[in-house]
Amino acid sequence: MADIDVLGTLTERDFLAGYGEVAKYGLLGDAAFFAWLEENGPGLAAGDAGLRQDAVRRSVQMKADIVMRDETEQGDRALLNLGHTFCHALEAATGYSDRLLHGEGVAIGCALAFEVSARMGLCPQEEPSRVRAHLSDMKMKRDLSDIPGELPGADALLTLMGQDKKVVDGQLRFILARGIGQAFVTGDVPRAVVQEVLSDALRAG
């Protein structure tokens, strides 16, 4: 049982940071839910209790289903980390400060993961554009340029990503996507592609 009334006590920034994790569920495994969020997200943020209840229910159900399918964390559960490899590096780069809340980092990380997926030809470029458009509609952080203050360069961010707990035998594992709602786990991601995406994102700032 989730008490959604507590959501009404949050600041807008904290609420939207939490929403980053909700959007993640649509992005990783339910295109219809993401489309629903595109339509209903603004109303949900504005305080519609029914919409909030529906979003929480779907997110909790998706997490429970994934965890039940993968109790020993061998496969599907890793999908819950969509956006987190980038997020953890950005949190470290910002000193785990209020420059970047966890959910904000997840949202930016999801956008970056979809950008990497598009650069690798796994999904159309329209998909990362759609992710960023929704985050923008929700008035959320969506790019590295939305993080206040200086960030280290692409090489330094890659080094921080290499310190992530999801590194297996020296190889970074990414959650990428073949489209919205079609995430998968892979270690087969060229470093040069990630570096290029990060460099372009830093330049855009």
Which domains are delineated in the chain? 4-204 (1.20.1090.10)
Q: What is the pLDDT of residue 121?
A: 97
Rounded distance between C-alpha atoms, residue 38 and residue 36, angstroms: 5
HSE, CB side, 13 Å, CA atoms: give it for residue 78: 18
- Coil, helix or strand for 131? helix
122-171 pLDDT, tens per residue?
999 999 999 999 999 999 999 999 999 999 999 999 999 988 655 666 67
**pLDDT tens digits, one per residue of 19-77:** 999 999 999 999 999 999 999 999 999 999 999 999 999 999 998 888 887 655 556 77
Residue 70: per-residue pLDDT? 61
What pTM does this model have?
A: 0.93
Cα–Cα distance, 126 to 132 (Å, whole number): 10
113-140 per-residue burial string, b: 16 or more CB within 10 A, e: under 16: bbbbbbbbebbeeebbebbbebbeebeb
Query: CB–CB of 166/59 below 8 Å?
Result: no
